[in-house]
Amino acid sequence: MVVYTDSSEEAINQLFRALADGTRRDILARSLTETPSVSDLAARYDMSFAAVQKHVAVLERAGLVQKRPNGREQLVSTNRERLKRAGELLDQFEVIWRQRMTQLDDVLRSKGN
C-alpha cells in the first residue's frame, strides 16, 4: 500500500495528469534548463499561443511551474521541489512492484522444486 504523507489524493492526481501530456513534459524540461517566456515556448510548438498558455496553466495548477512577470512577458520556471515529489511518489510505486516481483520469483521457485 502506498502512503501519501503530504499531499491530498486530488493534488497527486493533478500532478500526474499534468505530467501525462508530452507537450507539458517538454515545457517542464525546457523550464528546468532555462527560464523561457510563454511567448518563447509558443514559438517552439506547432500550436497557438493560447494552447501553449493552457498547457503552462495546467503545469502551474499542479505546482510544477511558476510564472513571474518580466515586463510584458511571463517567465516560466520549474518548481524543482514539486518535481522531486513526483519522483518520490514514483519511487514508492517502484518499491511495491519490486516487492511483488520478488514474491512472484519466490512462488515460481517453490513450484519448481
Model confidence pLDDT, tens digit, residues 25-79: 999 999 999 999 999 999 999 999 999 999 999 999 999 999 999 999 999 999 9
What pLDDT sits at residue 1? Answer: 42
Assess contact for 87 and 20: CB atoms under 8 A.
Answer: no
Average pLDDT value for the chain: 90
- pTM to 2 decimal places: 0.78
CATH classification number, 9-112, choose in 3.90.1560.10, 1.10.10.10, 3.90.25.10, 3.40.50.300: 1.10.10.10
Going by C-alpha positions, the residue among 83, 76, 98 that lies closest to residue 16 is 83
CA-CA distance, 77 to 67, in Å (whole number)?
A: 7
Q: What is the mean pLDDT of residues 80-84?
A: 92
| pLDDT exceeds cutoff 70 at 100 | yes
Cα Rg of the chain (Å, integer): 19
Q: Hunting for cell 517542464 — which residue is that?
A: 28
